[in-house]
């Protein structure tokens, strides 16, 4: 019998970070005197706002029996576009809810589909490139690679302000770039691109004819200053087609602690959105009508977001009290991760992860699982661990103190 063919592009992918973590810790028995705490996954543990369950419960049962519309409901489109306008002080109608916004079953779906949308068979006579920061969200690499592109990793280190150095991208790479994934606030480092940086990125996209996909999923979780958004920068740049080449992604997973709702959106260039809607009509994961109603209610409400943000600030206060001055601790301007340099204490993040699990029953993610090695074999993520501050402040305080004791900080 001849075996079925499998897409050989899968062989170019590394295993997903959490698969690698399970393998790393498989032979480690966690401390038995502690309740295990998963600080490896960015899954918010806050109780979702009551408006979510209340709105879901109020929807007619018959709505669960209807296929969801690919473009979303009118109420949802108005709510999502209205939130963008308020959050980023956009002019009326700048994001047309009928032409420039599309729902997603969580932004992971949309980020993956963006590469299927934007990567041609070749560009500039060569295999296309998909740019992404290094460290990177694994979906970026998977999407670009399966679409037939080269995943080009741009170092985002302390020396570059934890964002890619846009001036360091070679012209020959830009010429064959089809898509650039840019994350702000960055995951895992929490760095936020300012307006000048975003303007330069948009300019590169338009000069070299590629799509800029700005992943802003952590934009509502910040310490002091609201991060700049690509749409507000597009307003300032102006022009006949101010949204040209631009896609922005937002989600309720972090903003509203509603990861299980699987509700996000992509907004931006109407030309790209028309093609995106066509692609998604074939690959649509779908959002049920009651979920659209709940999502619309969440995008309209700000009170729960303010409370959510304050809860994260309290957790960063707790983490700073335990880890300040240790492992290169800094208070990130956005997101809810710590990016800790444990190289001096443990040699690398993998050994730190094993030690924390064995001695403290704390699960963290090694930085090397979020980064890719350079051509010379070096990996700038090797000394780091990512710690997700998703639990309550008391748990964060206790776990961070435990980490300091175990790692000798």
Q: What is the DSSP letter of 274?
A: H
d(CA 171, CA 244): 21
Looking at residue 205, its pLDDT comes to 98
Helices 230-237, 195-208: crossing angle, 10 deg rounding = 70
Secondary structure class of 164 (helix, strand, coil): coil
pLDDT at position 409 = 60
pLDDT for 279 equals 95
Domains 8-47+304-407 and 66-301 share a fold: no
pTM: 0.96
* 3-state SS, residue 182: strand
Q: What is the CATH number of domain 8-47+304-407?
A: 3.90.1150.10
Q: Provide φ and ψ at 125, rounded to 5°.
A: 75, 15
- Work out the percent of the chain whose per-residue pLDDT is above 70: 100
- pLDDT digit string, tens, across residues 312-345: 999 999 999 999 999 999 999 999 999 999 999 9
The answer to whether residues 382 and 370 touch, using CB atoms and an 8 Å cutoff, is no
Q: Is the dihedral of CA 79, 83, 86, 89 positive or negative?
A: negative
Condensed to tens digits (0 to 9), the pLDDT of residues 124-152 reads 999 999 999 999 999 999 999 999 999 99
The topology (CATH level 3) of 66-301 is: 3.40.640
Among candidate residues 352, 362, 350, 351, the one with its CA nearest the CA of residue 326: 352
For residue 15, what pLDDT is reported? 87
pLDDT tens digits, one per residue of 207-265: 999 999 999 999 999 999 999 999 999 999 999 999 999 999 999 999 999 999 999 99
Per-residue pLDDT at 368: 96
Domain residue spans of the chain? 8-47+304-407, 66-301
> Are the C-beta atoms of 376 and 38 separated by less than 8 Å?
no
Cβ–Cβ < 8 Å for 198, 233? yes
> Is the model's pLDDT at 33 over the cut of 90?
no
Q: What is the mean pLDDT of residues 50-70?
A: 94
Among the listed residues 339, 338, 345, 349, the one whose alpha carbon sits nearest the alpha carbon of residue 383: 349
CA distance 19 to 295: 31
Query: What is the rounded CA–CA span in Å between residue 89 and residue 98?
Result: 19
**Average pLDDT of 9-36?**
92
* Per-residue pLDDT band at 284 (split at 50, 70, 90): confident
* pLDDT for the residue numbered 286: 83
Angle at 212 between CA 385 and CA 107, to 5 degrees: 60
């Amino acid at each position: 019998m001849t075996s079925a063919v499998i897409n050989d592009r899968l062989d170019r992918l590394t295993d997903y970070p959490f698969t690698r973590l399970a393998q790393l810790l498989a032979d480690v028995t966690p401390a038995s005197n502690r309740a295990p705490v998963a600080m490896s996954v960015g899954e918010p543990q806050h109780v979702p706002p009551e408006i979510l369950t209340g709105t879901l419960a109020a929807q007619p049962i018959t709505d669960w029996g209807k296929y969801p519309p690919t473009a979303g409901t009118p109420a949802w489109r108005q709510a999502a576009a209205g939130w963008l306008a308020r959050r980023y002080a956009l002019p009326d109608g700048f994001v047309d809810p009928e032409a420039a916004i599309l729902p997603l079953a969580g932004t992971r779906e949309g980020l993956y589909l963006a590469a299927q949308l934007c990567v041609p068979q070749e560009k500039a006579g060569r295999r296309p490139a998909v740019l992404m920061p290094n460290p990177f969200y694994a979906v970026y690499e998977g999407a670009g690679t399966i679409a037939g592109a080269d995943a080009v990793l741009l170092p985002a280190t302390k020396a570059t302000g934890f964002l890619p150095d846009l001036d360091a991208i070679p012209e020959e790479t830009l010429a064959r770039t089809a898509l650039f994934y840019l994350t702000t606030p960055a995951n895992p480092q929490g760095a936020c691109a300012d307006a000048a940086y975003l303007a330069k990125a948009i300019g590169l996209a338009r000069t070299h004819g590629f799509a800029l996909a700005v992943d802003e999923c952590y934009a509502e979780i910040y310490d002091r200053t609201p991060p700049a958004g690509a749409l507000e920068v597009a307003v300032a740049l102006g022009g006949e087609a101010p949204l040209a080449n631009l896609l922005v992604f937002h989600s309720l997973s972090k903003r509203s602690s509603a990861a299980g709702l699987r509700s996000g959106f992509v907004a931006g260039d109407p030309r790209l959105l028309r093609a995106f809607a066509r692609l998604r009509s074939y690959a649509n994961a779908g959002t049920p009508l009651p979920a659209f109603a709940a999502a619309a209610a969440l995008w309209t409400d700000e009170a729960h977001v303010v409370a959510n943000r304050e809860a994260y600030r309290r957790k960063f206060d707790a983490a700073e009290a335990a880890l300040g001055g240790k492992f290169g601790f800094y208070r990130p301007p956005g997101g809810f991760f710590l990016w800790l340099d444990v190289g001096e204490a443990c040699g690398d993040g993998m050994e730190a992860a094993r030690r924390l699990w064995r001695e403290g029953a704390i699960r963290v993610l090694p930085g090397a699982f979020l980064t890719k090695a350079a051509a010379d074999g070096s990996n700038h993520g090797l000394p780091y661990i990512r710690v997700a501050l998703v639990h309550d402040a008391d748990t964060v305080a206790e776990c961070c103190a435990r980490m300091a004791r175990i790692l000798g900080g």
